[in-house]
Chains A and B, each alone.
Chain A
Amino acid sequence: MKIFIPTPLRQFADGKDAVEVAAVTVASALAELTSTHADLRKHLFTPEGKVRAFVNLYLNDEDVRYLPEKEATAVKESDTLSIIPSIAGGRG
């Protein structure tokens, strides 16, 4: 499956905007990604190994945090995983 890398993380993925991985679940896809590109790990996960709160993961068009199996959700070769850091702010 393909994992799409957002602009701020491409410098940690050899400049790539997408990486192909062989995986059976969302979690194993991320594990393979960070195994190949170790610098990505600290940007995606807390020291305790949880996905950082500001990192949104979309399996195709579904937010992974709202899927019943979350990161344990099974994936197909044709699936895509998008990594989307959150964007917010304001004057207050």
Chain B
Amino acid sequence: MSVVRFTREVYEAIRAHGERTYPHECCGALLGTRSDQGWRITAAIEAGNARTDSAHNRYQISPLELMKIERSAREQGLAITGFYHSHPDHPAQWSETDFNEAHWLGCSYVITAVEKGSAALTNAFALTGTSEETKQFEVEHIEIAE
């Protein structure tokens, strides 16, 4: 099982984001660097949820916002390592929608279950494979650096 490493600050921030946007889904990008041991996430960028029509069970980061996040990451010498979002009153498990809309191969997709407004379980999934046809989610172990 691969490992994704967070700083405590970033880990708590993405969970708090989900609590603030409850009962809607929050979303954002994760920035960091890659080593032989996997992704090390050192920053989280909150993003707007463009799915205002269905924010309670859908999220989308606008491509323009995503482009600006990537530009900012480049300027900081970081890469977009993955994305996070929340599932209000729903398990921290990827859905069919999450899978169908996942295209960032090699990146981490982090999901936090927010139950009645409080962050519960946070899970991470690596999008593995080398193409749309072979992609799959694999559970990642979350390690938090204190």
Contact = CB atoms under 8 A, between A and B. Distances in A.
Interface of A: 4, 6-9, 11, 17, 42-43, 54, 56, 58, 61, 63, 82, 84-92
Interface residues of B, number: 41
Contacts of B127: 8
A91 B86 CA distance: 8
A88 B63 CA distance: 10
- For the complex, would chain A's binding face be called helix, strand, loop or mixed by DSSP majority? mixed
Contacts of A61: 64, 67
Interface string B93-137: 011011001111111010000000000000000010001100000
A91 B88 contact: yes
A86 B105 contact: no
A89 B98 CA distance: 4
19 contacts: A8-B105, A17-B79, A54-B101, A54-B103, A61-B64, A84-B67, A86-B63, A86-B101, A86-B103, A87-B29, A87-B66, A87-B101, A88-B59, A90-B51, A90-B59, A90-B87, A90-B95, A92-B54, A92-B57
Contacts of B20: none
B107 to A, nearest CB: 6
B131 A87 contact: no
B61 A8 contact: no
7 nearest A-B residue pairs (beta carbon): A92-B57, A90-B58, A56-B63, A89-B98, A88-B60, A85-B103, A8-B105
A21 B56 CA distance: 43
A73 B97 CA distance: 33
Contacts of B66: 56, 84, 86-87
Interface of B: 25, 27, 29, 51, 54, 56-61, 63-64, 66-67, 70-71, 74, 79-81, 83, 85, 87-88, 90, 94-95, 97-98, 101-107, 109, 127, 131-132
Given A58-B63, A61-B64, A87 B103 contact: yes
Contact of A84 (B63, B98, B101): B63
Given A58-B64, A82-B70, A84-B66, A90 B104 contact: no
B70 A91 contact: no
Contacts of A82: 67, 70-71
